Amino acid sequence: MRRIKLTVAYDGTNYCGWQIQPNGITIEEVLNQKLSKLTGEEIHVIGASRTDSGVHALGNIAVFDTNSTIPPGRFACAVNQKLPEDIVVIHSEEVPQGWHPRYQDCTKYYEYHILNSPIPNPLCRLTTSHVSFPLDEEKMQAAANYLTGTHDFKSFCNIRTNTDDTIRTIYSLDVIRDGEEIKIRVSGNGFLYNMVRIIAGTLIRVGRGFYQPEQIKEILDAKERTEAGVTAPPQGLTLVGIEYSGHVERGQNILRRNTSPEREKNGKNLF
């Protein structure tokens, strides 16, 4: 029996998230079906991040166990021939049998994309959240600075979060404008249910002037979901990649190559 690790990219538009649900098709379900057909075994993948309905990924991680004789590095190519075009395995490799994608020390990287323009762009509707009102990205960055470090993020998680431990560490949180697009880039040791989307929704309210940047500290201290902003729409969110033990997965490398020269020059690399 071998354990195979997959790096998976997908457009989450047509799926009810990662985890198998009774009310619709999911990324996990499709991977299970196609890998089972490929290997002739009953395959059940284990994912690192259970992304929500409509959320995208460049580098989510999954593992599965198999007795198949297919070489580990060939699984990606083989299963891609069976997968729909909105799900792609970009890398496959063998890992130790006990390796679990959710129980390793890791850093997760997300981006939230906002189209800040008076009129929506239909070509961006599946990968960005449209905000027609002007946003002040400098105030959004000032607010974001209050969220970096280790905090109790109870105010920034869905009330249905199934955990008693709401303390997380955010390593970096950058708000970057490029013309009409604003990107919120965040890295951390883990994120609560809807946490990144609630952070995005709260920063948008700061950008519109409803909150002052310094109010973020009060929101954190309140430990009350109703104090933070609304949960931003899912289509603007992408899980960029997950870093284990100093190795950045391929989805993350894709985005690193897109770091702007200006930010590199100023010492403000992507993460």
Instruction: Provide mean pLDDT across the span 242-246.
Output: 82
Q: Answer yes or no: is 110 a known binding residue.
A: yes
Residue 68 identity (one-letter amino acid): S
Tokens of 149: 């470090």
pLDDT above 70: residue 251: no
Q: Which pLDDT score is estimated for 173? A: 98
% of the chain residues with pLDDT over 90: 86
Greater confidence (255 vs 141) lies with 141
Q: Which pLDDT score is estimated for 163? A: 85
- What domains are defined for the chain? 2-95 (3.30.70.580), 106-245 (3.30.70.660)
Candidate list 11, 52, 86, 174, residue with the active-site label: 52
DSSP string, 3-54: EEEEEEEE-GGGSS-SS-BTTB--HHHHHHHHHHHHHSS----EES--PPTT
Within the chain, where are the H helices?
Answer: 27-39, 75-80, 137-145, 195-208, 215-222, 250-256, 261-265
% of the chain residues with pLDDT over 70: 90
Ranking 46-50, 70-74, 243-247 by mean pLDDT, the lowest is: 243-247
105 flagged as catalytic: no
Phi, psi (degrees; rounded to nearest 5) at 131: -125, 115
The CA distance from 18 to 31, in Å, is 10
Q: Which pLDDT score is estimated for 241? A: 96
Q: How confident is the model at residue 134 (pLDDT cuts 50, 70, 90)?
A: very high
Instruction: Provide mean pLDDT across the span 59-65.
Output: 97
**Of the candidates 95, 104, 105, 132, which has an alpha carbon nearest to the alpha carbon of residue 116?**
132
Q: Which pLDDT score is estimated for 246? A: 52
The CA distance from 194 to 165, in Å, is 15
pTM of the shown model: 0.89
Tokens of 62: 């999954």
Q: How confident is the model at residue 161 (pLDDT cuts 50, 70, 90)?
A: confident
pLDDT above 50: residue 25: yes
Q: Average pLDDT over the chain, rounded to whole?
A: 91
Q: How many residues does the chain have?
A: 271
Instruction: Provide mean pLDDT across the span 127-156.
Output: 98
